[in-house]
Structure 1
Amino acid sequence: MFKAAIVLAHQYNISIGGEFIRWQEGQSTGAVIDVVDVVCHALSTSNIVGIVGPYLSREAEIIAPFAQKIGIPVISYSATDPDLSNRNVYPNFYRTVPSDDLAALALVKLFIRFNWTSCTVIYQNDAFGLGGVRSISNSFNASGLAVKRTVEFDIATLSIRGNLKSLLTNAATRIVVLWAISAYTPLILQDALDSNVVGPYFTWILSSAISINYFNETYYQNLIGMLSIEPVTGSVVNALINTTLLDAAYSIWQQYEPESFPGSMNVDYYALFAFDATWTLIQSLQKLCASKINNSSSCLSFFESSYCFNCRFVQSNLLLDAVTRTEFLGISGPIQFSYNVTNRITGLYYTAKNTQPSSNGVNFVHVLDYSHPGDWRIPAQENIIVWSGNSFTKPTGQASLKGVNLR
C-alpha cells in the first residue's frame, strides 16, 4: 500500500517542488545493521525527504536517531514499542499504528471485563517484547492486577529460556499473555503444545492472530479458546474511514499487482497503516512546499554527501512541524499527531478474536471491539466466545488441582 499511495498522489497530480514524488524501497531482514545499511545506501544515492517504516520496533529505535541526524521524518506503520513515544528522545518519529501503551490498557480492561486478576507474560527479548511487558506490568499494577511471572523467548536461539511447562504450571495463574510478533508466535505455541500447557487448563491471549494452518490437526482441540488482541482500522469497529482513498488504493493495487492482491477482506491491517503513513508524508510535503511558494529558495534543499551520515535536509524543522500539524481522514481512520508525543492520537482501535471450531478446523472469530478511550463492546454481529476445552464457561484464571496428580 506504500506504492499505492505514491501512485495515487501521481493520479491526483500532487507534485512537490514541481515534480512528482519518487520513491525507493528497501527490504529489512530484522537485523538492525541491515536496515541501517539500506537507509545509508538510499541517502548516499538520492535526496531522501522521509522514511515510511521501519517494520520492527528494534529497527525504529536505531533508524529514528539516524534520520534525526539527517533531518528527515520517520513514520512507522507497525513499530509499537511504548519507548518510541517519547518526543524528546525521538523528535522526528511518528507512527500510524497505536502504541503498545494503549494495547496494555485494552488488555487491562479485558481482564476487568472477565474478572481475571493475574497472568503470566511470555515476551520476545527485543524492544517490542521488553517494551510490551513493561507497559503491561505498569498498567496492571496501576489497576490492581498482577503479572505473576514473565517468561523470556530468545529471538537469537528461537527458544524459551527455561522449561516452559514448569514455568507455567508453577505459576499461580492460568492466563498466559504471549507478547510476540507473528513470526515467533507459532514457535512459542508449538513449544507450549508439546508441553501440554495450551488448553484446557490454560487460557492464552496473543498479541497477534496467526494462521492455525501452521499446526498439525492433532493439536486443534487444544488451540480452541485462545484470544488475540490486535490493532485494527476503523472499518472493523464501524468507525469512520476515508472510503474514497481506500477504494482508489485498492484499484491501483489490483491494476499494477493483481497477483498479490488478497481481496479487500483479507488485506493486512498494517498495509492500511502503511498507506496512511505514506499519505501523511505526502500531505506534509505538500504543506511544506505550499508555505514556501512565494519564497525564492526551494522547498526541498539538501547538503549532499557521498557519506550518508553527512547528508542534511535543510528544511528539517519546517517539515517536522508540517507532519505534526497534518490532520486528515485516512483509510484506517482519522489521523492526527501531537507536539507532546510521537503517537497518533486519534483513530485508535483494537479487536479481540477467539479461536473456535469451524467446518475446516479452527479459526479466529471476531468477538469484541475496542475504541480508545472507551471500553470493550460486543460487535454488531455477535459471536459467543468459546473457551479452552471447547467450553462456554468463562475460566477463572486461577490455578487449581484439576488435572493434577497428587501423591
Structure 2
Amino acid sequence: MLSIEPVVGDVINKLVNVTLLEAAYKIWQQYENESFPGSTNVDPYALFAFDATWSLIQSLQQLCLTTTNSSSSCISILNSSFCFDRRFLNDNSFFNTVTTTGFLGVSGPIHFSVNVTDRINGTYYLVQNVQPSVNGSDYIPVLDWSDPDDWTTYTKANVIVWPGTSLVTPTGNAQPSGVRLRIGVIAIYPFTIVTNVTDEFGNSTIKFIGYVPDLIDRLESNMGFIPEIMLAPSNKTYDALIQAVADGDYDMLVGDVTITASRSKIVDFSDSIFDNSLSIIVRRTANASPDLLGFLAPFSFKLWLTLLGVAIYGGIIICLLERKGNEAFQDRSIISSGAMSVWFSVGTILGYGADFHVATAAGRLFTIGLYMLSLILVATYTANLASDLTISKSQSVISGIDDIRKGKIPFGRIGIVVGSAVEQYYLREISDENRNYYSLKSQKEIYSKLLSGVIDAAISDTGLLQYATNQLYCNLTIVGEDFDKSAYGIVMPQQWLYKQDLDVNIISLQESGAIDNLTTIWFETSNCPDPSVISTSMGIEAMGGLFIIFEAISVLSLLLFLWTQRLSIKDYLLTSACRKKPSAQPDA
C-alpha cells in the first residue's frame, strides 16, 4: 500500500529559508517553550501555515509601502455593526500585491499567480510505502516529486513491500469503463422482480427491481460499464444457466447462485454478494389438542404417588409428635387427629399452611423439612408447567435437518429444486446420491406444493425462505436452525478480463455498508405477524382437567357436609313436616 502527502523542501533536499525557520523556532521557544516539540518533530502543515501567514505579512508590508502618500491608511476597514459586513477597503490592491510578492519560505519558494489558486512553485510531495512492523505500520519514503520535475526515486529509498508482503511489482488490471456487458438476471423474489410499467402514452415496458438490479446500479456507477440486462429463461435450471455463462451467452450472471466447488470448475465467481445458508420450510401447524390432565404433566405418575405418600407420612409424624402436647388435638379421636395431621402436612407442602400451629420442638423441626420440600416442589412444578403448556401450543413434525436425516418425514414428501445447489447438498449429505426426493422445477413451486399438501417440507436457501415467510406466505414457516453456510457470487467466464476490478468494487461496497443496506431494504421487512410475539396465553381447554377435579372436590365437600349434618338436617325436615300438618277439626 502506498500513501502520498505534501512535504516541505528540506525533506527532499530542496532549498528553504533556514534563517527564517530558526528565527521562528527561537520565538516559539521564547514565548511558549512547553509546546515546542523539537525542530525534527514539527508537523509540515505547521510550516505551511507559517508561510501562509508570513506571505500575508510580507504583502501587507509591501502594500503599505506603496500607499504611503495616499490620504487613507493602507489597512483601512469599512466598519459595520455586523462583523461579517466589515470589508478591507484596499482588497483589490492587497490581492494584486499577494500575487506579485515572492520570497523563500520555511517550506520552500513562495510565489502566486492571478489565475492559480495554489502556489506556482515550491510544491513537493512524497510517496511512502506502508510496511508492517512490530509496532504496527511504518511509512517508508520511496518516491518524491517537485515542480517542474517528475516523480523520482527518493534518495534514501527502500525496497517497496506490496500487499501480501510481496516484493514483486503487481501488474495493472483491466477496467470495463464504457464496455457493454451482457448481464443475465434470474427472476426470483426479492432478488429480481419483473414489473410492467405503463407510461402516459400507454406504452408498456419491463422494469427490473429488487436486490440484484440495485446492486448492478451501484456497480455500474463505480465501474462505468454499460449494462445490457437479459432475463434468464424460467425453464432453465441453475446448472443450465451456469453452463450458458461458460458457453459465452452472458458476460455475467447475477442472482441467487451459490458458489460451489463443482461449478467453479467451469466458471469463475466473484466475491460474495450475499451470505447464504440452507433452511427447512413447512406448513404452520395448528395448536396441539390440549390434554385435560395436562397440568399433571410436570411431574411423573410415580412422583405424584410419592407426594401422596409423603403427605400421608407427614400427617402420621405430626400426629405422633403433636397429639399429646398440642391443644388443637385435645379431646379428639385418633381418626380426627390423623385427619388434622394430614391436613397440616398437605397444606404445608402446598405452601399455604393449616389452621393450627405445631407446639412441640420436634414438630417445628419436622415442619422445617416440609417447608423445604414445599419450596423446591412448588418452584419446579411452576417452571415445568409453564414450559410444557407453552411448547404444546405449536409443535412441528420436525425440528431441524437431523429429523430429515432420521426419516421423520417420508423422503418422497420432501421437495428439492432440481439442478440447484440444494440438490447437490441433499444428494451428498442426506440420501447418498439417491434421488428419493420430490422433484420441483422452481422456487415458486415449493410454496404451491406445500400449501396444496403435496409435500410436507422443502429445503431451500434461507434468504429466499425468510422473504417468502415474512412477505408472501404467512401460513408457512421455517423450522430449526439454518445449516450448510455458503455465499452467492456473480458468475462469469473463467479468466474473465474484468474479474479483479469487479472483486475490488464488490469489496468496496461491502466495506462501505452498501451491501448491508440492500439486505436491510429487501429482506428485513415483514408483512406477516411474528410468531415470537404471538400471545402465549392458555385457553380454558388446557386447564379443563383442573377445573373438573376442582368440581369433583366441591361435590365431595358438599356430600361430606351433608353427612356430618345428617342428624340436624333430619330434625329440620321432621320439624318442618310437623308444622305443615293440618290440625283435625270436628264438624259443628
| TM-score under structure 1 length normalisation | 0.42
| TM-score under structure 2 length normalisation | 0.29
Which gives a bigger RCO, structure 1 or 2 (Cα 8 Å, sep 6+)?
1
Greater Rg by CA: 2
